[in-house]
Amino acid sequence: MTPLSLPPVADPFQLPFHYGALHQVGLDWLVAPDPVRELLAKHHPGLTAATFDDGRALVSLNYQLYFAQYAFGGGVTQEIEFNVIAFPTAEEARLPRLSYAQYAQGWDQTKLLGIARVHVVCDNPFAIRAGRELYAEPKYPGWFEVALPSLNGPAGDTWTVRCKAAAIGPDDTLEQDDTPLLDLTARLDGLAAVAANSAPITGYGTDREGRLLAGPMNVYQPYRWYDLSAPEHSGRTRVHVHAPDADLGRDVRALLGADVPAAGVWTYQSPPVAAHNRPYYLPTRPRL
């Protein structure tokens, strides 16, 4: 068998791409498999949707806020992905049999169970171009209003994300639109988390020539996974589609329906690297 060549890295990009900080929340749903298989076949014909508990497929919405440092300075990016958990069809014999909880905690050491990106909405035109050209991501513009857990904010562990429409204008500027696309909320206050060794996470893309790409992402500390399988946790997450006729809204509604509770939530927040502390008064020498 002839070895495969690596995909080209287009100028001006460099790989690997290094994150200076990452804050992320992901919501998982176990859903009926047939609509998932139909959607996946349209976007990634070389992949097969994985099945878990009772033969259900797994889809996820995950939000990211990340910082990167470049030679010219720094940049902050936000994005949200709608993914199907899938594997290369030709590699099915290598996969272990896992429950959802086992997969969520990182038991798949083949890392063939990856995220097949169906929609990626992003607020950084440079990152949109990079995602498309390097990883064949179906990435397009949007913007975000968020309320996130933070050491610089009120105590609590609730994530709220509102995704809105946008366009790319002249000189690669983001032109915001007030049209809301989708909201998600995860109320994790009071829940115990399990350390999840899920990285590297394999992200799948299919390029314009129909070639399947796999791009692993390393995260250097464990994720935190929250099991929401108990009935009393069914109200802890919420997704509201504001634009049901848009591509993202249509596919989310088709796979999730109206009342499917999330099976689990996973989060990651980069630890702080420095802290500027509270000032204090110094005594002054009394005047004579």
Give residue 257's pLDDT.
81
Alpha-carbon span 234 to 107, nearest angstrom: 25
* Average confidence score pLDDT of the chain: 95
pLDDT band at 88 (very low <50, low <70, confident <90, very high): very high
Q: Could you tell me the two tokens for 14?
A: 């460099």
Q: Which CATH class is domain 21-269?
A: mainly beta
- pLDDT given for residue 213 in this prediction: 96
Residue 240 phi/psi, 5° resolution?
-125, 125
Average of per-residue pLDDT across 35-40? 98
Spatial contact of 208 and 241, defined as CB atoms under 8 Å apart: no
The whole-number pLDDT of residue 1 equals: 63
Average pLDDT over residues 174-186: 97
Mean pLDDT across 8-17 = 92
Residue 190 structure tokens = 């009071």
The H-assigned helical ranges of the chain are 33-43, 100-104, 125-135, 247-256
Summarize the confidence of residues 141-155 as an average pLDDT.
96
Task: Report whether 27 contacts 182 (CB < 8 A).
Answer: no
* Domain range list for the chain: 21-269
- What distance in Å separates the CA atoms of residue 155 and residue 94, rounded to the nearest whole number? 44
Grade residue 74 by pLDDT with cuts at 50, 70 and 90.
Answer: very high
Distance from C-alpha of 39 to C-alpha of 118, rounded to nearest angstrom: 8
Please tell me whether residue 227 adopts helix, strand or coil conformation. strand
pLDDT at 62 over 80: yes
> Can you give the pLDDT at residue 260?
83
What is the mean predicted confidence (pLDDT) over 19-27? Answer: 97
Confidence at 259, pLDDT banded by 50, 70, 90: confident
Neighbouring C-beta atoms of residue 15, cutoff 10 Å = 12
Locus of tokens 């009120």: 154
Looking at residue 168, its amino acid is I
